[in-house]
Chain A
Amino acid sequence: MKPAPFAYHDPRTLPEAIGLLALENAKLLAGGQSLVPMLNMRFAAPDHVIDLNRVAGLAGIKRTSGAIEIGAMTRQCDLEISAEMAGALPIFGAALKFVGHFQTRSRGTIGGSLCHLDPSAELPALCLLMDAEFTVAGAAGERIVAAMDWFQGFMQPAAGPGEILTAIRIKPWKAAHAYGFCEFSRRHGDFAIAGAAALLALGPQDRISQAAIAVFGVEVSPRRLPEAEKMLTGAEAGQASFRAAASAVDTLGAMEDAIVSAGYRRKIGAVMVQRALEMAHKRAKAGVV
């Protein structure tokens, strides 16, 4: 199918783009790897498409004091090959291999993924795992939204209709730590049925000193497992504690569709959490990030 007609705007500056959002039934276009299919299938039929691709200053990866700042229009392929990301946040490189295919990562952006907010998307889950901060710009100026507050429901980011996500700020953990990431889909590149991301910092005697877990694809948006993280902190790393942590997925309000039942989604989610923790543990013991 072909998109319904729309008026196309390609502003060069952020204030210009924000101004255009006053138009009725306007939609922002980032990398287009979700919106353009929706236009083609007429699931979305905006009257105005505001293309962010020519807006100056929205892309790039910067290392600032203690944090990495990623422009919202940074392409997924650029995150994949970035030395800053590989050094400070290697979990992104591991997860990006599962984001679509290299032919879509060449256009797809981190900001687009965060605003489209597919429940099984990897990048929003990683931002939640890392307690990222989102800079959102509107006519009234900028505001910062914490990752915890970003997810307002099914495909509902906290950005208002007149606002644009401009940057993502992530603080890597200070303590030595390692990541684990895994997801399950029936074919490579498909939307995952469920997946999990974890960070672990180990103290003496294999005791966990810090833990973070995010599970995605199970509920309508990615979610952290705070009780499991608390339970793991101070516990000995290993099968028993990881299995107990993964059981937190059993009580989540999982999505259900014609192919995947809620119970199956929870089961896969729990297995993913356990595997992500095992992977993080193995990497931590080997001394790799």
Chain B
Amino acid sequence: MSEKRRIELIVNGKRYAGEVEPRVHLGDFLRQNVGLTGTHLGCEHGVCGACTVIAGGAAVRSCLMLAVQADGATIQTVEGLATEAGMHPLQKAFHERHALQCGFCTPGMLMSLAAYLSQNPLADEAGIRTAISGNLCRCTGYQAIVEAALDVVAAGRGGR
């Protein structure tokens, strides 16, 4: 009854095709079928934000979208942030500000902030705090994460 479906999607600029059961969510598909394990799965019910990816330009919870729903979609994961020219400004700022300790929440934080800052390149602290209010971090206390994002804004690199 749960027949596999063939889907095709673009992940970080590369085309992937795969056969997948409808009950598999996008986060599991990215990790298990595509082999991109940067996207982390924490709660799998939309609370922790670790699995956040960018689908069609919008930040989404990859645990709350079925892989079959992403057929034809363009997805960006944390692996797609860095380019040959180097790390994404947010990644650099996270490194400089020590905005991670265990790193579990980091992919979700980065993808949420990348999406938010690309639409709000002049974001202030309150906006940034609201933007990551759906991303749980149990190590940092958030301060360094907010500072890293503010550094990116100050450097005029919010849009990238």
Binding site for B on A (CB under 8 A): 1-8, 10, 32-33, 36-37, 39-41, 47, 49, 51, 53, 77, 97, 100-104, 106-107, 187-189
Whether A40 contacts B69 in the complex (CB less than 8 A), given A100-B134, A107-B64, comes out as: no
By the criterion CB–CB under 8 Å, are A1 and B134 in contact?
no
CB-nearest residue of chain B relative to A81?
A: B119
In the complex, B84 has a CB within 8 A of chain A: no
* Interface hits, B1-30 → A, CB 8 Å: 1-3, 5, 21-25, 28
Chain A residues with CB under 8 Å of B60's CB are 103, 106-107
Interface centre among B63, B65, B66, B133, by most chain A C-beta atoms within 10 angstroms, is B66
Whether A7 contacts B22 in the complex (CB less than 8 A), given A37-B64, A107-B65, comes out as: yes
By the criterion CB–CB under 8 Å, are A189 and B134 in contact?
yes
By the criterion CB–CB under 8 Å, are B2 and A40 in contact?
no
In the complex, B49 has a CB within 8 A of chain A: yes
By the criterion CB–CB under 8 Å, are B2 and A6 in contact?
yes
* Interface hits, B56-111 → A, CB 8 Å: 58-61, 63-66, 68-69
Other-chain contact of B64, A4, A6, A7, A36 (Cβ < 8 Å): A36
By the criterion CB–CB under 8 Å, are B1 and A5 in contact?
yes
Taken together as a complex, chains A and B put the C-alpha atoms of A51 and B65 apart, in Å, by 11
By the criterion CB–CB under 8 Å, are B49 and A36 in contact?
no
- What is the total of A-B residue contacts with beta carbons within 8 Å? 93
Rounded to whole Å, the gap between the CB of B111 and the closest CB of chain A is 9
Other-chain contact of B59, A2, A33, A103, A188 (Cβ < 8 Å): A103
Whether A102 contacts B23 in the complex (CB less than 8 A), given A36-B63, A36-B64, A41-B45, comes out as: no
By the criterion CB–CB under 8 Å, are B69 and A53 in contact?
yes
Interface centre among B60, B64, B133, by most chain A C-beta atoms within 10 angstroms, is B64
By the criterion CB–CB under 8 Å, are B58 and A6 in contact?
no
By the criterion CB–CB under 8 Å, are B23 and A2 in contact?
yes
Other-chain contact of B61, A8, A10, A97, A103 (Cβ < 8 Å): A103
By the criterion CB–CB under 8 Å, are A188 and B25 in contact?
no
By the criterion CB–CB under 8 Å, are B23 and A106 in contact?
no
CB-nearest residue of chain B relative to A107?
A: B60
Other-chain contact of B5, A5, A8, A103 (Cβ < 8 Å): A8
In the complex, B130 has a CB within 8 A of chain A: yes
By the criterion CB–CB under 8 Å, are A40 and B25 in contact?
yes
Chain A residues with CB under 8 Å of B159's CB are none
In the complex, B36 has a CB within 8 A of chain A: no
Rounded to whole Å, the gap between the CB of B114 and the closest CB of chain A is 12
Rounded to whole Å, the gap between the CB of A172 and the closest CB of chain B is 28
Other-chain contact of B1, A6, A37, A102 (Cβ < 8 Å): A6
By the criterion CB–CB under 8 Å, are A49 and B22 in contact?
yes
Chain B residues with CB under 8 Å of A32's CB are 64-66, 69
CB-nearest residue of chain B relative to A97?
A: B130
Chain A residues with CB under 8 Å of B134's CB are 100-104, 189
Whether A51 contacts B69 in the complex (CB less than 8 A), given A77-B58, A103-B112, comes out as: yes
A-B contact pairs, 14 of them (CB 8 A): A2-B24, A2-B44, A7-B22, A8-B5, A32-B66, A36-B63, A36-B65, A40-B45, A51-B69, A102-B116, A103-B49, A103-B60, A103-B61, A106-B60
